[in-house]
Amino acid sequence: MIGLREAQLPADADAIAQLDTSYSTDAIYAVDQSSTGILLREVKLAHPLTKLFPLDDLKNETRPWDFAQLAVDDERVCGFAAAGYQPWNRRLILWHLYVDRPYRNRGIARSLVDSVAQHGLQRGALNLWLETSNLNLPGIRAYRRLRFELCGADTTLYFGTLAASEQALFFAKALVP
């Protein structure tokens, strides 16, 4: 049975780093912005795309998140979520949400998000917010199933990075007690 527990860092860092944080897709979202809104348009790719998200802040003591939850199958880490609270606008930011490939589509992401949301409510958060790339079609579909709603886009956020051709998408979910 898969259980949840709070991550103990740096002790759990190596086990978390073993998670498959990649996704593969044969489609992406094109971002159409206008003065009246944002539209995501699914675009089929000529060749499948695989992208790996880095987990490079696990041992960094100045990381932007202060709460991390693990999904564990027996002793094996199979999921990870990390969030940080911003008191000025009472927002909880979901910095990481990963489920190891063999464990996907089993409700683990939902359990992790629910646990993070409970933490946010205890801190006084009004919403749970996240950022992802327009290339992350599988992730965006999962976020929508988890009741996140598109709340913004930034076509310039990744300029100057290896992801310069991507657009940032922002999703939010209201937290209610």
Residue 157 · residue 116 · CB < 8 Å: no
What is the DSSP code (8-state) at residue 29? Answer: E
Cβ burial of 164 (10 Å; 0-12, 13-18, 19+) is exposed
Name residue 101's amino acid. Answer: R
Instruction: Tell me: pLDDT of 33 over 90.
Output: no
Residue 148 confidence (pLDDT) above 90: yes
The DSSP annotation for 139-160 comes to HHHHHHHTT-EEEEEESSTTTT
What pLDDT sits at residue 37? Answer: 87
**Is residue 177 scored above 80 in pLDDT?**
no
- pTM for this one? 0.94
Specify the CATH architecture of the domain 2-174.
3-Layer(aba) Sandwich (3.40)
Question: Does the pLDDT at position 23 exceed 90?
Answer: yes
- Distance between CA atoms of residues 52 and 72, nearest Å: 21
**What is the Cα–Cα distance from 103 to 91, expressed in whole angstroms?**
29
CB 175 within 8 A of CB 126: yes
% of the chain at pLDDT higher than 90? 94
What are phi and psi for residue 124, nearest 5 degrees? Answer: 95, 15
What residue ranges do the domains of the chain occupy? Answer: 2-174
Distance of CA 24 to the CA centre of its chain: 15
